[in-house]
Each structure stands twice: as structure tokens, then as C-alpha cells.
Amino acid sequence: MMEEGVTEEARLCFYPFLSAASNYVEALGVTLDDLITAATFERARLRGKERVREAIREGTVRKPVIMSTAQAEMELLSYPFARILVSCIGNAHLVRRYALSEAKSAYNKLLEDSSTGSSAGTDIIYEMAQEFDIQVDFSRLSHMEHAPVQMPFVDYLRFTSNLRDKRWKLVNRGLEKGQVNLRKGEFLRVIQEAIYARISKDLPLDVPGVLCESIRKYTRDIEAELEERRKKFGDSGFETSTGFLVKDPSCFPPCITAILSNLKDGVNVPHTARFAVTAFLLNLGLTVDEIIEIYKNSPDFDEERTRYQVVHIAGAQGSTKYTAPSCSTMRTYGNCVDNDDVCEKVNHPLSYYKRRLKLKQKQKKEQQDKPKEKVEGEK
């Protein structure tokens, strides 16, 4: 059981990007020096490191069960420490993945909290709206995910510029007297965007080198994990929670690598590019589930819709089985990027892949043959 009176701290530690959470941390009087060096805060530092590792491995940050005020405070303090860690490592992919993982986890927690039917559930939604300065009409708000919410279209536009799915386009929403109609679940999704923007702001922080050096023991482990994954999944390096290894990502054409890299970083990718990468990977033999895993990082990920689209492209419902678009189609939609010398010899991304794979195998064989020739020559 949680200690009496711990509720506020617990609530704040689940949403550590809130102004109230920063104020709480400030009121604790913990200095940066304390957070980095004091033995009392080792628990917060280790949890900060875990936050980053969870983001790398799972794409989410766990919300633990809070049993005491002390634990809630350590959880709260682990957030600024995690921000320092990713800033010291200075890897742009990691920074984006970390920010997106924190935002997604907060969104999931919001969904959970707001569906309990308790007043705390609705309070947190009001608080989020206030925090991000959104004048929302909550008059018909309930614990139901479909409960209607209205928000001013200027605020709506402010936070949805990265959501490319056509259902987010203003023309596809009901607009009444400058207010956009949303379901509660959709409003929370918009809030996730606001949270992501808040968390990403100022990241990476400008942390002095000497300070980064003093926390090497924490960053070293994270860097080792990043390196291990890079080796395992290749330079274009994307991995899924099921841990599948893509055929040979080092031979993917630059257009596909660029799309995958954007998906990995949680950048929104246009439909034509999603179609291209999905068809390409299906043609290579990846399963529907493996491809859905890749999309999980996408900011507007919706498992049901994604599955429907991937299955449709795969042709498992009796529809056409698509092949990946040719280079000329890729060019038409602006998806042909970073082309290299191999591109000049092909007219299809799949041909590029086959050619690069052959070249790689040939080079490998030459390498293997080299020492043999030398030994024979010496005889």
C-alpha cells in the first residue's frame, strides 16, 4: 500500500515534465551537484539510467508502482538525470527516441488514469490542457474514451503539424465556430504531441564536459548498449521489440534507409514513403507483425490501422499483392534521396538491394580467399 499523502508526489513523478513537477523538485532544494554526486541520490541516478535504457530497448519508459514519498521523489529526480545522460551522450537518434518514449509513456498513463472514472482522472486532463495553454471545452467529458472534447482550431494546428495521417487534417474534422471536435482519446493523442515538444525542447542540454566526465560510469553502459544494437541491427540500424534481424540492412538502398531512419526516430513519414518501405520489406520476406513493430515508433502509431494497411499491401485479404515502387515512382513522390553510384545502375530499389548484396558477398569471398592465396604462395 502507498503511504498516506503520497498521491501528489506519485502523480507528479508520472508526469515529470509538468511545471508543478519542476516546482516540486526545486522546492526539494536538491542542487545539480547533489544530484550528480551525493550518495543519497544514487537510486535516482540508477533509475535515470534505466529510463534511457528502457527507451532504447522498449521505446517506452516504465511507470513503476509507487510505494512511498521517498520512492516518488527518486522517480521524479531520475527524470532530470536521464536528460543529462542523453545530453552527454549527444547521439541525435537517442535524444529523439528518448523524448518520444517519455511522451508515449505519459500518453499511455494518461489514457489509463482518465479511464478510471475517478475525479483524479478528469483532473489530470484539465491540468494538461492548462499546462499547454489550451482552452478546451470539457463540458461533456467522461471516463469514456469516445467522450467528446472541443478545442480551438489554432491550438489544434499548433500541436498536430507532425501528424500526417489524413484523419488529423483539419478538413477531415468537424469544425464548429472555430472549435475542432475530437474524441477524448484523440485529444490525449494531441496532448502527447505537446508533451513530446516539451520534453524535446532544449535537448540535448548544454552540459559542461567536466560534468559529463563525472557521470561516465552511467553513460558508458548506455553507450555500450547502443553500440551492441548498432552491431546487431546494422548501421541503418532499426530493431523491433521482438528482436528480429532485418535481412541485411547494410545493403538497403539509400531511399529505404532514410525512411527507416525517420521511422526509428519517430519522425512522421508520408504515406507514399510508408507504402514504399512496407512493400519493400514484404518483398524481402518480413512478416506483417515484424513490419508493424517498425511502425511502433511512429508518432501517430495506431496498431489496428497499421495492421489493416500492412495486411492490405501484403495482399492477405485477397487484394493485390503489391511490389515496391520503382525508382521513377520514388522520384515522383520525392522519396528518392541520397542516391549513390549503385543507384545509377538500377531502376528499382529491390534491384539495388540485390546488386549490393551480390557485391558484398563477392567482396567477402575475395577477403576470405586472400589469406589462402598467400599461404599457397609461401609454399
- Rounded to a whole number of angstroms, the minimum distance from the CB of residue 248 to ligand SF4 is 15
Give the relative orientation of helices 303-314 and 288-295 as an angle to the nearest 10 degrees. Answer: 140
Q: Which stretch, 5-13, 119-127, 237-245, 336-344, contacts ligand SF4 (CB under 6 A)?
A: 336-344
What span, in angstroms and rounded, lies between the C-alpha atoms of 274 and 255?
11
- Asked if 343 interacts with ligand SF4 (CB under 6 A), we say yes
- Asked if 260 interacts with ligand SF4 (CB under 6 A), we say no
- Rounded to a whole number of angstroms, the minimum distance from the CB of residue 294 to ligand SF4 is 18
- Asked if 99 interacts with ligand SF4 (CB under 6 A), we say no
Considering only residues 253, 263, 275, 279, which one is a binding residue for ligand SF4 as defined by CB under 6 A? 253
Q: Which stretch, 16-24, 90-98, 249-257, 313-321, contacts ligand SF4 (CB under 6 A)?
A: 249-257
Write the binding mask 54 to 93 for ligand SF4: x where contact by CB under 6 A, - elsewhere: ----------------------------------------
Nearest CA-CA partner of 187 in 219, 211, 163: 163
Q: Please, which residue, 106 or 324, has the CB nearer to ligand SF4?
A: 324
Please answer whether residues 357 and 248 qualify as being in contact, where contact means their C-beta atoms are separated by less than 8 angstroms.
yes
- Asked if 266 interacts with ligand SF4 (CB under 6 A), we say no
What span, in angstroms and rounded, lies between the C-alpha atoms of 301 and 268?
10
Please answer whether residues 111 and 188 qualify as being in contact, where contact means their C-beta atoms are separated by less than 8 angstroms.
yes
Considering only residues 191, 255, 273, 310, which one is a binding residue for ligand SF4 as defined by CB under 6 A? 255
Helix (H, G, I), strand (E, B) or coil at 151: strand
Q: Which stretch, 49-57, 228-236, 250-258, 292-300, contacts ligand SF4 (CB under 6 A)?
A: 250-258
Q: Report residue 169 as a C-alpha cell.
A: 487534417
- Rounded to a whole number of angstroms, the minimum distance from the CB of residue 54 to ligand SF4 is 34
- Asked if 254 interacts with ligand SF4 (CB under 6 A), we say yes
In 243-327, which ranges are E strands?
none
What are the Cα distances from residue 26, in Å, to 19, 21, 207, 239, 286?
10, 9, 19, 38, 49
- Rounded to a whole number of angstroms, the minimum distance from the CB of residue 251 to ligand SF4 is 11
- Asked if 336 interacts with ligand SF4 (CB under 6 A), we say yes
For residues 125-161, one letter each, b for 16 or more C-beta atoms within 10 angstroms of the residue's C-beta and e for the rest, the string is beebbebbebebebeebeeeeebbbbbbbebbebbbe
What span, in angstroms and rounded, lies between the C-alpha atoms of 153 and 170?
8
- Asked if 270 interacts with ligand SF4 (CB under 6 A), we say no
Q: Please, which residue, 254 or 270, has the CB nearer to ligand SF4?
A: 254
Query: What's the half-sphere exposure (Cβ side, CA atoms, 13 Å) at 340?
Result: 14
What span, in angstroms and rounded, lies between the C-alpha atoms of 95 and 278?
26
- 204: how many CB neighbours lie within 10 A of its CB? 18
Q: Which of residues 316-335 bind ligand SF4 (CB under 6 A)?
A: 327, 330
Q: Please, which residue, 129 or 255, has the CB nearer to ligand SF4?
A: 255
Considering only residues 48, 266, 299, 349, which one is a binding residue for ligand SF4 as defined by CB under 6 A? 349
- Rounded to a whole number of angstroms, the minimum distance from the CB of residue 326 to ligand SF4 is 8
Q: Which stretch, 148-156, 163-171, 191-199, 344-352, contacts ligand SF4 (CB under 6 A)?
A: 344-352
Helix (H, G, I), strand (E, B) or coil at 104: helix
DSSP conformational letter for 170? G
The footprint of ligand SF4 (CB under 6 A) covers: 253-255, 327, 330, 336, 339, 343, 346, 349, 352
